[in-house]
Chains A and B, each alone.
Chain A
C-alpha cells in the first residue's frame, strides 16, 4: 500500500472519523473539562483532591470514602476476572477441541444469555440468590441449610462472573480455534506429553486471547454499578455506583472527576498489559 492514501480511501473513512470525533473524542474532552472545573467553569483541582481526601464514618472508623470504594471495585473486579479466567480458559479449550457441530452448539449456549437484557439477567439472579429464592429453596429441598448470600460480596461477584464470562471465553476460544493442529503434533513429536503441550505450546500461544479476555472482563467489572446495587443490596457501593450517584445528584463536576481518575487508572492497567503482550518471543527479540 502506498503511504499516501487515495482520496477515495479518505472519503470512505470520513464518516467513521466524524463518528469517532463526535462520540468518542469530544465526550472525553468534556469529561476532562468538567473534572478540572468548578460549577462556574473556573479551573480547579478540587474535584480531584476531593476524591482522594473525602472522609466518612464506617462503623465508627474514619475512612477515605472514595479510595475505599475504588479499592473495593478493583478487588471485586479482580476476583471476578480471576474466576472468569479459571472457568473460561478450560471451557474455551474444550470448545476449540470439540467437533465442529458441538463447537457451534456451545457457542450458541454461551451467546444466548447475552441476548437478554443485562438488567433482566441481574433481576433473575436476585430471585435465585434471595434468602427465600430458588437457590435456597433447592437447598432446603435437599435437606441442606439455607445460606445467606444476597447482599454479600459473593453475590456481587457471582453476578459479575455470570455477566462477563462470555467476554473471557470468546477471545480465548477464537485464538485457540485458529491454532494449527500441526503445532500440537510437532510438540508431541518433539517429546511433549499432554501437560508439556499445554504448558509449552497451548498456553503461550493463547496468551494474547487471555490478555484481551482479561481486559474485556476487568474493565466493565471495575466500572459496573447496577449489579452491586441489586445483588449487594446497595451495601457495596462500587465506583460505578459512586459516579451514578453524583450524576443523579447533579454533581456533574465531581462525577466527571471520578470518571476521569477511573479512566486514567484503567488506561495505565491496559498499557501495562500491552507491554506484557509484546516481548512475547522467548529467548530474545528479533534483530529485525
Chain B
C-alpha cells in the first residue's frame, strides 16, 4: 500500500504547553483512519497540521514523499469537513459546493456537472437552490461533505463531523460516510472522541492521549489487544486488575491462578490484566473461579450491567441473566477472555468500577469538543 501522509517525530506546543509529543504516523492511500482520544489529547491539532492550519515546532509533515510543513492550506491536496460545518451563510447549497471550483476558474458547465454529481452523492439533489441556513444539521453536514469532496482531494479530513447530530442520524451518517469513502477511494482521516464510532467505521484506529499515540491498529486489534490500561479503558468497558505472570500461559490475579493465552512475559513479572465485562460468565458460587457479592444492577436493554465486589475490587459484568443485589455469585472466565498487558504509566488509573455510575461516565465525555483546539 502507498503511503500518502507521513508524520515524522512531530511536536507542537501552544503557550508553552506541549500538545503533541513526538508523534509519528504513516497514513496509507485509500484507508479510513480515525484519530481517537479524549478532549485535549492532540487529535484535532494533528488534523490541523495535516490540513495546514498549524505547522509543527519539530518534525515533518510529508505528503506523497514531499515535505509540506509550511505549505499553506490552499495549496494542499487536502480538504476538511469542519466540526460545525463552516458553511458560507451568504451562499446557497449549490454555491457552497461550487466554491472551490469557482476559485479554480473551472468552466461553468463543468462546475454544474460536478456540483450535481456531488449533491447526488450526498443525496441532496433537490436542495441546490436552498439557503444553507434553512437546512437541518444532517443536511448541512452533507453539504459540508460535498463541498470538501468536490475538489477531489487526495485526503479528506473530518473534525468530529457527527458531534452535533442526534444519535440516530449519527448512526446513519456513519454508514454513509463509510460508503462514500469506499465509493470515492479517498483517504479519510476522521477525528472523534466516540470509541463506538471509531470501532464501527475505521480501517485503522490511532488512540491518542496526552499528546502521544498510545496504539495504532485495526478496530479488532485495539479492542482485543489493548497495549495499556488507557487504551483498554477508553475503548469499551474493561476490568483492569493487577496480576503476576507466573509462567507462559499462567497468570495470577484476584488470588486465583488462571490459564491464559499470552506468553513472552518474564517469570513473576507484574502485569495489568484486562477482562472485558461481556467475557465473564456468572455461575453458582460453588462453581466459580472467583466469588463475590453483587452490589449493583443496571438494566441496559440488551443486557444487565452488574457490579460485583470481589475482595474489595469492583468488577463490571455484562450479562443477560438477572441476578439481584446482595446475591453471592461465582465468576467463570475462559482463558482467551484474559488479556495481559505490560505495566505502563496508566496502570492503576483505570478499570475499577468502585465509583462507577452511568451518569458519571457520560459526564466525562463532553458532548461537544469546543475546547479541543489543542
B170 within 8 A of A: no
Partner of A286, one of B74, B100, B130, B148: B130
Q: Which of B72-126 contact A (CB under 8 A)?
A: 72-74, 78-80, 82-84, 86-92, 94-95, 98-100, 102-104
B21 to chain A, nearest CB (A): 25
Chain A's interface size range is 20 to 34
The answer to whether B74 and A285 have CB atoms under 8 Å apart is: no
A287 to B72, CA, bound (A): 37
B351 to chain A, nearest CB (A): 38
Provided the pairs A281-B92, A283-B94, A286-B131 are in contact, do residues A186 and B80 lie with their beta carbons within 8 angstroms? yes
Q: Which of A269-288 contact B (CB under 8 A)?
A: 280-288
B53 within 8 A of A: yes
The answer to whether B134 and A283 have CB atoms under 8 Å apart is: no
A190 within 8 A of B: yes
Given A186-B86, A191-B104, A286-B130: 4 more A-B contacts, CB < 8 Å: A182-B83, A185-B86, A188-B52, A200-B102
Partner of B88, one of A186, A286, A288: A186
A100 within 8 A of B: no
The answer to whether B82 and A191 have CB atoms under 8 Å apart is: no
Residue of A nearest to B159 (CB): A182
Interface-centre pick from A180, A183, A191, A285 (highest chain B CB count, 10 A): A191
Chain B's interface size range is 20 to 34
- Residues in A neighbouring B95, C-beta threshold 8 A: 282-283
Which secondary structure dominates chain B's binding surface? mixed
A158 within 8 A of B: no
The answer to whether B74 and A192 have CB atoms under 8 Å apart is: yes
B67 within 8 A of A: no
The answer to whether A200 and B80 have CB atoms under 8 Å apart is: no
The answer to whether A189 and B51 have CB atoms under 8 Å apart is: yes
B147 within 8 A of A: yes
A183 to B99, CA, bound (A): 12
The answer to whether B131 and A190 have CB atoms under 8 Å apart is: no
A27 within 8 A of B: no
A201 to B100, CA, bound (A): 12
**B residues bordering A, Cβ < 8 Å?**
51-53, 72-74, 78-80, 82-84, 86-92, 94-95, 98-100, 102-104, 129-131, 134, 147-148, 151
A280 to B151, CA, bound (A): 25
- Residues in B neighbouring A281, C-beta threshold 8 A: 90-92, 131
A282 to B95, CA, bound (A): 7
Could you jot down 8 A-B contacts, CB within 8 Å? A182-B84, A185-B86, A188-B53, A191-B103, A200-B102, A204-B90, A281-B131, A282-B90
- Residues in B neighbouring A282, C-beta threshold 8 A: 90-92, 95
A187 to B103, CA, bound (A): 10
B147 to chain A, nearest CB (A): 7
The answer to whether A205 and B134 have CB atoms under 8 Å apart is: no
A190 to chain B, nearest CB (A): 4
- Residues in B neighbouring A191, C-beta threshold 8 A: 74, 100, 103-104, 151
Provided the pairs A182-B84, A182-B86, A205-B90 are in contact, do residues A188 and B130 lie with their beta carbons within 8 angstroms? no
- Residues in A neighbouring B79, C-beta threshold 8 A: 189-190
Residue of B nearest to A207 (CB): B90
- Residues in B neighbouring A189, C-beta threshold 8 A: 51-52, 73-74, 78-80, 148
- Residues in A neighbouring B52, C-beta threshold 8 A: 188-189
Provided the pairs A205-B90, A282-B95, A287-B129 are in contact, do residues A185 and B53 lie with their beta carbons within 8 angstroms? yes
A237 to chain B, nearest CB (A): 42
A189 to B155, CA, bound (A): 12
Residue of A nearest to B131 (CB): A286
Residue of A nearest to B147 (CB): A190
Give the 6 A-B CB pairs with smallest separation, nearest first.
A182-B86, A190-B100, A186-B86, A286-B131, A188-B73, A283-B95
B340 to chain A, nearest CB (A): 44
A193 within 8 A of B: yes
The answer to whether B72 and A188 have CB atoms under 8 Å apart is: yes
Provided the pairs A188-B73, A282-B95, A283-B95 are in contact, do residues A182 and B104 lie with their beta carbons within 8 angstroms? no
- Residues in B neighbouring A288, C-beta threshold 8 A: 130-131, 134
A196 within 8 A of B: yes
